[in-house]
Structure 1
Amino acid sequence: MSNPPMYGELAPLDREAHKNLKLDTAKAVVGQVADQNSVFLAAVEFADACREYPVVFVRAGEGADGKPQVAPLAVLGLKPGSNLFVDGDKWTGNYVPAYVRRYPFAMARLDGNANTLAVCIDSKWAGFNEATGEALFKDGEPTEFLQNARAFLENYEQEAERTRLICNLLVELDLLLDMRFEATLPGGEKIDVEGFLAVDEKKYSELADDKVLQLHRNGLIALIEMHRLSMTNMNRLAARYAA
């Protein structure tokens, strides 16, 4: 089982091994993402995220069918290892992506059982202990706190799968193009960000009517417009970096 960005070591939650485990929810988690300049963003989050983060796409390997896949990201910084929305233990943005909010929980496929998703925890997270906080189990059964966490994770996975299907359609229509962002800061420092994809404006404007209808019926027209609008936030990120 691989550890996604932000996580130290994922471990499947076990009602026996973790029967006395508690989570100190007062312990801030945003420090875990202080060195991440982007995080995965589900399509359902575009409306909130596009107001302050650039929403871009990146290549994400190949699917089971061998076709290329892409994934959307919220850009949080203009340099590797830099998150401009974390200040100590505070998140300074108005919207916190669900990828961050689910921590220290996650769902993952167990080794040797690719079809089964298990609730996992970051076993390295200092907020887990057996003394104080929200109990995960009581009398061998999940507490309401853990049930709510699981419901959040299940919804997150459903939205991630919906996002994957949406991105597959963007790839199928060949609507994404390699892009780069360049800026010169007031002090003369130059910033050059590349390695991301954005909607190809020319191809988008030349889409046949039946393809436009297909996008509309799949809810992509609104998502594309949110993505396009969000790209103006690159300049805001540069200003935040300069400040």
Structure 2
Amino acid sequence: MSTPPMFGSVVPLDREAHKKLHLRTDLSTVDKVKGLNSMFLTTVEFSEACKEFPIVFVRAGEAPKDGGKQPVAPLAVLGLKPGHNLFVEGDKWTANYAPAYVRRYPFMMAHIDDQGNMALCIDDQWAGFSDKDGQALFAADGEATEFLVNAKNFVESYERETERTRAACHELVELGILQDMRFESTNEAGNKVDVDGFMTVDEKKLAELDDATVVRLHRNGLLALLEMHRLSLGNMARLAQLQLARKD
């Protein structure tokens, strides 16, 4: 089982092994994301995320062995240098919106076997877990508490949106309307920030799509997502100024 960013040790939640487990919800998870300069974003989040972060696409995973195109995934850009999150100051998250990726922590859904079965998992290294403090995950009869049910519903919804996001990105790749991009910014002092390795919509190729395809993209919501992505790129200059103002 792979361990995604933020998570330390991912283990399936077990009603017997974890019957006494409690979770403190008052502990900040900001320390877990201060070193992340980007974060996976589901398409349903674009409308809120585009107001705060640049939304870009990156190649994800390996190209199919049958010669198909390499998948892509959307990311919210949080910083312009590796290990730097410009939306963390001390122990506070400064943006008005936090991606669902971080809000689900310390829970996640993960594959537990080769048959594709999934289970609710936890990061059992998270300091918020204990046998007595916080919200109980299981009741005395071994059934999930309302707190755990709500947490499971959230991560299951997140997983469904992740699948929808993969489908949307697959269509963008098949249409061939994404291009590699590079961003550069220099402040008045001559300090420079360069960012590459990401993809954005190719405006020329988008404009060349036939009418039937444009109508289909409008009706399935992809055209609106591309517009939100395009508008979000205006946040890149704001991040550059924040980065150039930092001394680290």
Give your verdict on TM over 0.5: yes
Deviates more, 1:7-16 or 1:64-73: 64-73
Change (3 A) 1:154 1:171: same
Q: Which residue of 100, 103, 112 maps to 2:102?
A: 100
Structure-2 residue corresponding to 1:153 = 155
1:65-144 aligned within 5 A: 66-113=68-115, 115-138=116-139, 139-144=141-146
- Mapped pair 1:183 → 2:185: yes
Structure-2 residue corresponding to 1:173 = 175
Change (3 A) 1:200 1:101: same
On the 8 A contact 2:191/2:244 being kept in 1, the answer is no
Give unpaired runs (5+ residues) of structure 2: none
Deviation at 1:116, TM superposition (A): 1.1
Percent of matched pairs sharing the same residue: 62
Paired amino acid for 1:215: L
**What root-mean-square deviation, in Å, do the aligned CA atoms of Structure 1 and Structure 2 show?**
1.3
Structure-1 residue corresponding to 2:220 = 218
SS in 2 for 1:183: strand
Structure-1 residue corresponding to 2:36 = 36
Give unpaired runs (5+ residues) of structure 1: none
Structure-2 residue corresponding to 1:199 = 201
Q: How far apart, CA to CA, are the structure 1 residues paired with 2:155 and 2:234?
A: 31
Which structure shows the bigger proportion of residues in strand conformation? 1
On the 8 A contact 1:43/1:163 being kept in 2, the answer is yes
Deviation at 1:67, TM superposition (A): 3.9
Paired amino acid for 2:153: A
Question: What is the TM-score when the length of structure 2 is the normalising length?
Answer: 0.94
Paired amino acid for 1:175: I
SS in 2 for 1:137: coil
Deviation at 1:35, TM superposition (A): 0.4
Aligned length: 242
Q: How far apart, CA to CA, are the structure 1 residues paired with 2:80 and 2:70?
A: 25
